[in-house]
Chains A and B, each alone.
Chain A
C-alpha cells in the first residue's frame, strides 16, 4: 500500500563519502520534492521537480544534487557529506497544487 517509498530507511556514511538516497512513487504525481529535516525542526525544502523541470532552492548547498530519470523515481545525491548533513531526508510527491504525500524518510548519519 505504500505510495511513496524511500530507500534505505537508515544510512550511515563516512565524512566525505558520496551517498545516494532514492525515492519511488506509485501515484503518478508530476511533482516530487526533497526535504531535509533536522531534529526538532521543520522540513526544509532542498529542491523539487515539476515534471522534468528541476527547481533548486537558493540556499541548498551545491553538495546536494538530484536526478529524476522518470516520473516514478527521484534520487538525492550528496557528493561529499559533512557532519552537518546528518538529518532525516524526506521525499514527497503531489499532483500540481494538491496535498503532498510523504515517504517514511531516510535517516542519514554522517560519521
Chain B
C-alpha cells in the first residue's frame, strides 16, 4: 500500500538553527511530492512541490526540499529558522492507480524558540 513516513514527530529548535525534516514514501510509480505547512488555527498551505526536473526544489519562506529517487525521500530544509516557522509540517504524495490520491505523512510539529 502507498504510504508516507515522517520520522520526526516533534522538533524543537532555537532561532537561526538549521532545519531538516525527513519524508519517505513507498510507491513504485510516478509521484508528485509536496510539503504543506499548517500554522496554529489555520488551514494547510503549500510550501513547495516537485513534479519533475531539478530534484532540488525551492519554495516559499526560504524552504527547499530535495527529491532523491533512489532513497524514496523528499526531505525539507531551511538554513535558518525563525520563530514564525513554528507550525506543523506535512509531507504529501499524489499517486495514480486509476484515479489520483493525495496521501499525507503523519506530520512534524516544529517549535522554534525565540
Contact = CB atoms under 8 A, between A and B. Distances in A.
Contacts, number: 59
B44 A43 contact: yes
Nearest to B30: A97
B100 A50 contact: yes
Would you call the interface of chain B mostly helix, strand, loop, or mixed?
strand
A55 B49 contact: no
A105 B102 CA distance: 17
Contacts of B106: 41-42
A45 interface: yes
Contacts of B49: 99
Given A41-B107, A97-B96, A99-B49, A104 B43 contact: yes
B96 A50 contact: no
B109 A94 contact: no
Identify which of A40, A90, A100, A104 gathers the most chain B CB atoms within 10 Å of its CB. A100
Given A41-B106, A42-B90, A105 B43 contact: yes
A55 B90 CA distance: 23
Interface string A85-111: 000001010101111111111000000
Contact of A48 (B36, B99, B109): B99
B27 interface: no
Nearest to A49: B99
Contacts of A105: 43
Contacts of A103: 43
Identify which of B45, B103, B104, B109 gathers the most chain A CB atoms within 10 Å of its CB. B104
> Which 8 residue pairs spanning A and B have beta carbons closest together?
A102-B44, A42-B104, A50-B99, A42-B106, A104-B43, A102-B43, A43-B104, A42-B107
28 contacts: A33-B102, A35-B104, A40-B107, A42-B90, A42-B104, A42-B106, A42-B107, A43-B90, A43-B104, A45-B101, A45-B102, A45-B104, A48-B99, A48-B100, A50-B99, A90-B43, A90-B44, A97-B94, A97-B96, A99-B34, A99-B46, A100-B34, A100-B46, A100-B94, A102-B36, A102-B43, A103-B43, A105-B43
